[in-house]
Amino acid sequence: MGQPTHALTQTDWWRTAVIYQVYVRSFADGDGDGTGDLAGVRARLPYLAELGVDALWFTPWYLSPLKDGGYDVADYRAIDPAFGTLAEAEKLIAEARSYGIRTIVDIVPNHVSDQHPWFRAALNGGPEHELFHFRPGRGAHGELPPNDWRSQFGGPAWTRLPDGDWYLHLFAPEQPDLNWSHPAVRQEHEDILRFWFERSVAGVRIDSAALLVKDSRLPDFVEGRDPHPYVDRDELHDIYRSWRRIADEYDGIFVGEVWLPDTERFARYLRPDELHTAFNFSFLSCPWDADRLRTSIDETLAEHAPVGAPATWVLCNHDVTRTVTRYGREDTAFDFATKAFGTPTDLALGTRRARAAALLSLALPGAVYVYQGEELGLPEADIPRESIEDPMHFRSGGTDPGRDGCRVPLPWVADAPHAGFGGDPWLPQPADWPSYAADRQAQDPASMLTLYRHAIRIRPVFGDSPLTWLPAPDGVLAFTRADGVMCLVNLADTPADLPPHTELLLGSGPLDDQGRLPKDTAVWLRS
Ligand code: NOJ
């Protein structure tokens, strides 16, 4: 069993934490029904402790029809019976804590499930109508949507009801958007935050954090017009200031899902009285290119510095192409718009780069997110079309493969049925899944799992010190942290000489026979 890497009394644990993302449905299946559950997570806590992570972020585990993997919540205070019970969640939070691991829950404030009692009551003519965005349509008979907004999953952001009115959903039709100018919506979410903080969660991830507030006139979208009718509206900051006051009562922290290209606007969410952290999607989307990565790192650090917030470093999550696959393609950037079936992939190359990227991200100042299976080097799976569940696939008209390829149930035991996941998995596992199984990798000194375990164990040598770039040849990233530990990543075609050092702490792959750093390899050195 691993030792906690941070003292539990440390209130700023989140500034340097390694946070592991658990997609419950696909993590581990405790009751053998093919769906991951809380019993599965509890049974694997020793594994997570051995990995050395400081916290777990659970994607939504609430009661849900699962039309969008749980981001369609029917009751924010109940666990979906497929996953367990509230009592079991409380046990899990406490047990994780006994391993030194904190819990972060995922709150989805922009929308609810169409099965949420508020929406059902609204459809039945109740006053809850005001809590959503219902509008008559345009056109002679109201047959056209009230405006031209598009759903993030494709198609119009409006669905028409039998009574003729339309309702707004920035995601799937089963996810009606809430009306955040109504005080009851604010009150309810503040109560939900308290509900989970009272249950000893250490933090909250905020889904679609920049989308909640809409221009109440619901105007058409006009390219370049400021402010945007529903992205990053100034009114949001007041909401997050009141959330922060609640979090502070409990020493809780926030991590916002804020996809914004404008770094100055992004940093506003991280002012000292707002969110503690936000996901770094610039780094996640960045191609495997030394100059681009260095720019992304510099911009990240520069945008966080004035507000005093720590950066986060994220290589993948449950919405994007898995890292080893992305880095094994000709286009190594991530972009929803370019996802396609059948993209050629060199997995050996992608894996080598993903190993180097792991050492890069774990050496940078700030918090690091690891998405379940990333530590096993799982590739993006090709899901047969008939098994795909993700609405992103269907609303693209079937051209986008969707996000299920990164959500396949994990392989735990190479020689067990379903690679030790539990029952027959809700998404099919590829035939080679057992070769990635955690039990096999745990025995293999050269495996991705062993690399992650070592890296997370050694990582505290970097402390909380700032980053200083070192002179390096073109295509090589080299930096030091104030306490004399260096990280070098070679993205150039030629091997790179190592600077003078006293100890090689860890490498993502072997040095060449002349002791040089080969292409697509990273090392940590003590000077
Ligand atoms: C972002 C989540 O990460 C994604 O999985 C979900 O589909 C959307 N928000 C809508 O909630």
Domains of the chain: 463-526 (2.60.40.1180)
Does the beta carbon of 208 sit less than 6 angstroms from any atom of ligand 1?
Answer: yes
Q: Which of ligand 1's atoms lies nearest the C-alpha of 317?
A: 3
Nearest CA to ligand 1 atom 2: 207
Structure tokens at 342: 């059948």
Q: How far apart are the first and last CA of the chain?
A: 31
CB 192 within 8 A of CB 107: yes
Does the beta carbon of 390 sit less than 6 angstroms from any atom of ligand 1?
Answer: no
**C-alpha span between 254 and 241 (Å, rounded):** 11
Average pLDDT of the chain to the nearest whole number: 96
Task: List, for residues 461-473, the tens digit of each pLDDT value.
Answer: 998 889 999 999 9
Reference 161, options 180, 135, 186; nearest CA is 135
Around Cβ 29, how many Cβ atoms within 10 Å? 26
Laid out side by side, the sheet with 158-160 consists of 134-135, 166-168, 158-160
Does the beta carbon of 171 sit less than 6 angstroms from any atom of ligand 1?
Answer: yes
- pLDDT confidence of residue 8: 41
Q: Is 375 left (phi over 0), alpha (psi -120 to 50) or beta?
A: alpha
Q: From ligand 1's centre to the CA of 71, what distance in Å?
A: 6
- pLDDT confidence of residue 381: 98
Helices vs. strands in the chain: H and E counts, helices first: 15, 18
- pLDDT confidence of residue 1: 35
- pLDDT confidence of residue 6: 43
Question: Average pLDDT for residues 120-124, to the nearest whole number?
Answer: 98
Nearest CA to ligand 1 atom 6: 71
Decide if pLDDT at 3 tops 80: no
- pLDDT confidence of residue 187: 98
Active site residue 207: yes
Does the beta carbon of 108 sit less than 6 angstroms from any atom of ligand 1?
Answer: yes
Task: List, for residues 46-63, the tens digit of each pLDDT value.
Answer: 999 999 999 999 999 999
Catalytic residue among 72, 106, 232, 257: 257
Decide if pLDDT at 7 tops 80: no
- pLDDT confidence of residue 309: 97
Task: List, for residues 493-519, the tens digit of each pLDDT value.
Answer: 999 999 999 999 999 999 999 999 999
Question: Average pLDDT for residues 86-96, to the nearest whole number?
Answer: 98
Does the beta carbon of 319 sit less than 6 angstroms from any atom of ligand 1?
Answer: yes
- pLDDT confidence of residue 4: 41
Q: From ligand 1's centre to the CA of 486, what distance in Å?
A: 36
Does the beta carbon of 23 sit less than 6 angstroms from any atom of ligand 1?
Answer: no
Q: Which residues of 262-294 are buried (b: 16+ CB within 10 A; e: fewer)?
A: eeeebbbbbbeebbbbbbbbbbbbbbbebebbb
Does the beta carbon of 372 sit less than 6 angstroms from any atom of ligand 1?
Answer: no
Decide if pLDDT at 172 tops 50: yes
**C-alpha span between 509 and 513 (Å, rounded):** 13
Q: Residue 150 carries which DSSP code?
A: B
pLDDT level of residue 2 (50, 70, 90 thresholds): very low
Nearest CA to ligand 1 atom 4: 319
- pLDDT confidence of residue 483: 80
Task: Write the single-letter amino acid at 50.
Answer: E
- pLDDT confidence of residue 11: 81
Active site residue 257: yes
Task: List, for residues 361-374, the tens digit of each pLDDT value.
Answer: 999 999 999 999 99
Tell me the chain's radius of gyration from C-alpha atoms. Answer: 23
The preferred substitution site among 169, 174, 208 for testing ligand 1, maximizing ligand atoms within 8 Å of CB, is 208
User: Distance of CA 185 to CAs 135, 179, 189, 328, Å?
Assistant: 19, 7, 6, 44
Specify which residues 58 forms β-bridges with.
22
Q: Provide the whole-model pTM.
A: 0.97
Task: Write the single-letter amino acid at 61.
Answer: W
- pLDDT confidence of residue 489: 99
Task: List, for residues 227-279, the tens digit of each pLDDT value.
Answer: 999 999 999 999 999 999 999 999 999 999 999 999 999 999 999 999 999 99
Q: From ligand 1's centre to the CA of 207, what distance in Å?
A: 7
Q: From ligand 1's centre to the CA of 92, what distance in Å?
A: 24
Question: Average pLDDT for residues 426-439, to the nearest whole number?
Answer: 98
- pLDDT confidence of residue 475: 98
**C-alpha span between 252 and 202 (Å, rounded):** 5
Q: Which residue has the higher pLDDT, 11 or 192?
A: 192
Q: Which of ligand 1's atoms lies nearest the C-alpha of 208?
A: 9
Decide if pLDDT at 434 tops 60: yes
Q: Which of ligand 1's atoms lies nearest the C-alpha of 59?
A: 3
Question: Average pLDDT for residues 133-151, to the nearest whole number?
Answer: 98
Task: List, for residues 276-333, the tens digit of each pLDDT value.
Answer: 999 999 999 999 999 999 999 999 999 999 999 999 999 999 999 999 999 999 999 9
